[in-house]
């Protein structure tokens, strides 16, 4: 490709690599390529660009969903009459066309909705935003495939908050999602639609997503069971990422037993997602969670813990009471409503009546966890900038192409919280590029503090939210007003 002239032919649309392009690129980190090297650099940069263009023109590679066996039937937008809570994003029916076989499987007969950040091939994905509006994913998320292969029936997608980035249910462009108990109040977010549809009984089970509370907040506000599984236990493949160390997807349900059932169907490595860190079981090794629960037979038995046989010689059968630790600092976080605190504490103490030991434990660092967590979220905006992150996974490049490039129009449509994260991320990029790494280090320190406490107790208990569901601000309220109701909603990313 080398020619005598400085300045080489460009591929498609982008300006030719010239001295200016070269030096402007270098100037981004405040340096200049020496004059006598310019020609060589232009040549190598052009060669690199040429190679990039070639790969860009190749077909991308996505898992191919089995739409013959699991066809997408009756895809429809939901009319406002049928959608008083705005909880439905899209209705569709997807199930096995071989009902005899499906009827033998563990999710047979279950009506399941998925959060609208989960890919379901051929069905619109809105992600609670109108920054783009025409995204039809071409693949199924692993959780979708597993649900269908376990005999479940998908009945639609549940509205989620804008870019799954807010804990209050007033940010989706589809409209505010009302709490089933009081339509004016927040249903919690960002898996808001899932929480509402389960609470209303319109679906039996739901797949939510949780980065900073997005499964647990709607579960708490809607009075259902939401589980944020151990990081990596459930593959995040084919779901829009917020931040790779925050991404969780997990089951939401009316009760614990059906939650365990859905977890059993979706857990285990899928061989695609690097977020499934070492120690994650293969699907065949996933414990039979529902049976483990029913095998307990009584509450007292459920609150018993087996003493490892190596502690008692080789004799099985010794048990002790489960020790429930109430996290002192969990009750002391800022803005805590004393009614919420008392209710949670009373509920936790109930375990004593049922046969467990209940003790108070302290992790002083917990008070700072939400500050570090907030900084971790605002010190980078890789997902909004479409940046890769160095892990092996299914990259939803088609989604990035919808979001990028940013335009004024798109930016203006972005909900203020996401817009704020985008700006603060750019700022941190420039001024504190090491900060994100530091938050990860500090969380590791904090985890050691929790682990030390967990050596003595089996579970930690604390409130999910500091207050009961609040009356929602209008979507176009000031960012300050939005944050008044948002800052302090518990996060748990220090445990990821």
Partner 1 sequence: MLARFPHAKICMLAHRPRLSRLLHASRIKEDSRWPDWNVVIGIEVHAQIKSKAKLFSNTLTSGLHDPPNTHVSLYDAAFPGTLPHLNPKCVELGIRMAIALNSEVQRRSAFDRKHYFYADLPTGYQITQQYAPFAKGGFLKLSKEDISVRIKQIQLEQDTAKSTFYPRQQHTAIDLNRAGTGLMEIVSEPDLRSPEEAGDYVRTLQSLLRCVGSSDGNMEQGSLRCDVNVSVNRRGSGFGTRCEIKNLNSVRFMMIAITSEVRRQIDILQSGSSVPQETRGFDEDRAETYSLRNKEDAPDYRYMPDPNLPPLFLEEAFVTDIRQRMPELPDATRIRLQSLGLSSRDIDVIMDVDSGREVGVDGELRPGAVAYFDSVASGRDPRVVVNWITHELLGQLAFRKETFSDNPMTVEQMGELIDLVQSKTVTGTSGKEILRHILTTRTLNMPSQLAEELNMLATSDDTLLKQWCSVAISALPNEVDKVRKGNMNAINRLVGHVMKASKGAANAQAVKTILTEMLS
Q: Is the peptide bond before 52 cis (omega within 30 degrees of 0)?
A: no
Binding residue (CB under 8 A) for partner 1 from 34, 35, 278, 297: 297
Question: Could you tell me the smallest distance in angstroms from the CB atom of residue 202 to partner 1?
Answer: 24
Residue 250 in the binding site for partner 1 (CB under 8 A): no
Binding residue (CB under 8 A) for partner 1 from 176, 180, 290, 386: 290
- Beta bridge mates, 306: 319
Question: Could you tell me the smallest distance in angstroms from the CB atom of residue 312 to partner 1?
Answer: 9
Which span (54-62, 301-309, 327-335, 453-461) binds partner 1, by CB under 8 A?
Answer: 301-309
Question: Could you tell me the smallest distance in angstroms from the CB atom of residue 295 to partner 1?
Answer: 4
Residue 99 in the binding site for partner 1 (CB under 8 A): no
Helix (H/G/I), strand (E/B), else coil: 408: helix
Question: Could you tell me the smallest distance in angstroms from the CB atom of residue 306 to partner 1?
Answer: 2
Question: Could you tell me the smallest distance in angstroms from the CB atom of residue 297 to partner 1?
Answer: 4
How far apart (Å, rounded) are the C-alpha atoms in residues 376 and 353?
Answer: 40
Binding residue (CB under 8 A) for partner 1 from 40, 255, 288, 481: 288
Contact 191/218 with Cβ under 8 angstroms? Answer: yes
Binding residue (CB under 8 A) for partner 1 from 1, 31, 37, 292: 292
Task: Write the interaction track for partner 1 spanning residues 124-163; mark x where CB under 8 A is met and - where it is not.
Answer: ---------------------------x------------
Can you say whether residue 162 is alpha, beta or left, with left for phi > 0 and alpha for psi between -120 and 50 degrees? beta
Residue 104 in the binding site for partner 1 (CB under 8 A): yes
CA distances from residue 52 to 138, 217, 257, 399 in whole angstroms, order as listed: 23, 43, 50, 19
Binding residue (CB under 8 A) for partner 1 from 44, 309, 407, 487: 309
Rg of the chain over all Cα atoms, to the nearest angstrom: 25
Residue 431 in the binding site for partner 1 (CB under 8 A): no
Q: Given 162, 164, 169, 190, which residue is catalytic?
A: 190
Residue 281 in the binding site for partner 1 (CB under 8 A): no
Residue appearing with tokens 């070492």: 278
Question: Could you tell me the smallest distance in angstroms from the CB atom of residue 457 to partner 1?
Answer: 18
Contact 450/369 with Cβ under 8 angstroms? Answer: no
183 is catalytic: no
Q: What are phi and psi of 317, to 5 degrees?
A: 105, -5
Residue 29 in the binding site for partner 1 (CB under 8 A): no
How far apart (Å, rounded) are the C-alpha atoms in residues 84 and 178?
Answer: 8
Helix (H/G/I), strand (E/B), else coil: 279: coil
Exposure pattern of 65-86 as b/e (b: 16+ CB <10 Å)?
beeeebebeebeebeeeebebb
Residue appearing with tokens 């109701």: 485
190 is catalytic: yes
Residue appearing with tokens 């434990």: 361
Contact 75/137 with Cβ under 8 angstroms? Answer: no
91 is catalytic: no
Binding residue (CB under 8 A) for partner 1 from 44, 67, 291, 487: 291
Q: Given 95, 110, 115, 228, which residue is catalytic?
A: 115
- Beta bridge mates, 326: 360, 461
Binding site for partner 1 (CB under 8 A): 101, 104-106, 108, 151, 287-288, 290-292, 294-298, 300-301, 304-310, 314-319
């Amino acid at each position: 490709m080398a020619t005598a002239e400085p300045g080489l032919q460009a591929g498609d649309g982008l300006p030719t690599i010239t001295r200016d392009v070269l030096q402007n690129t270098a100037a981004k980190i405040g340096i200049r390529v020496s004059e006598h090297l310019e020609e060589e650099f232009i040549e190598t940069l052009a060669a690199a660009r040429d190679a990039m263009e070639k790969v860009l023109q190749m077909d991308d590679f996505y898992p191919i969903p089995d739409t013959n066996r699991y066809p997408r039937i009756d895809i429809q937008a939901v009319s406002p009459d049928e959608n008083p809570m705005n909880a439905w994003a899209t209705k569709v029916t997807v199930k096995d066309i071989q009902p005899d076989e499906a009827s033998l499987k563990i999710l047979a007969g279950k009506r399941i909705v998925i959060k609208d950040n989960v890919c379901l091939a051929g069905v619109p994905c809105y992600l609670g935003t109108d920054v783009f509006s025409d995204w039809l994913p071409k693949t199924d998320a692993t959780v979708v495939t597993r649900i269908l292969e376990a005999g479940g029936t998908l009945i639609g997608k549940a509205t989620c908050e804008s870019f799954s980035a807010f804990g209050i249910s007033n940010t989706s462009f589809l409209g505010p999602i009302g709490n089933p108990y009081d339509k004016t109040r927040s249903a919690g977010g960002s898996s808001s639609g899932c929480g509402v549809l389960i609470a209303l009984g319109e679906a039996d089970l739901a797949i939510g997503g949780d980065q900073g509370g997005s499964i647990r907040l709607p579960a708490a506000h809607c009075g259902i069971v939401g589980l944020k599984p151990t990081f990596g236990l459930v593959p995040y493949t084919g779901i829009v990422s917020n931040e790779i160390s925050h991404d969780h997807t997990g089951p939401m349900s009316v009760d614990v037993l059906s939650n365990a059932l859905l977890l059993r169907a979706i857990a285990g490595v899928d061989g695609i997602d690097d977020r499934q860190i070492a120690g994650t079981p293969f699907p065949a090794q996933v414990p039979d969670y529902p049976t483990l629960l029913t095998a307990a037979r009584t509450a007292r038995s459920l609150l018993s813990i087996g003493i490892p046989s190596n502690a008692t010689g080789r004799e099985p059968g010794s048990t002790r009471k489960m020790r429930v630790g109430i996290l002192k600092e969990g009750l002391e976080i800022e803005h805590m409503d004393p009614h919420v605190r008392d209710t949670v504490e009373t509920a936790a103490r109930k375990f004593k009546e049922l046969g467990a030991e209940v003790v108070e434990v302290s992790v002083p660092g917990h008070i700072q966890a939400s500050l570090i967590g907030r900084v971790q979220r605002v010190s980078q905006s890789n997902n909004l900038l479409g940046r890769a992150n160095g892990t092996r996974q299914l990259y939803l490049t088609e989604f990035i192409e919808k979001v990028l490039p940013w335009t004024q129009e798109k930016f203006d449509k972005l909900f203020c919280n996401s817009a704020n994260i985008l700006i603060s991320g750019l700022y941190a990029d420039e001024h504190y590029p090491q900060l994100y790494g530091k938050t990860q280090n500090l969380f590791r320190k904090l985890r050691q503090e929790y682990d030390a406490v967990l050596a003595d107790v089996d579970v930690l208990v604390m409130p999910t939210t500091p207050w009961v569901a609040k009356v929602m601000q209008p979507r176009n309220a000031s960012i300050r007003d939005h944050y008044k109701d948002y800052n302090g909603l518990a996060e748990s990313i220090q445990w990821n």
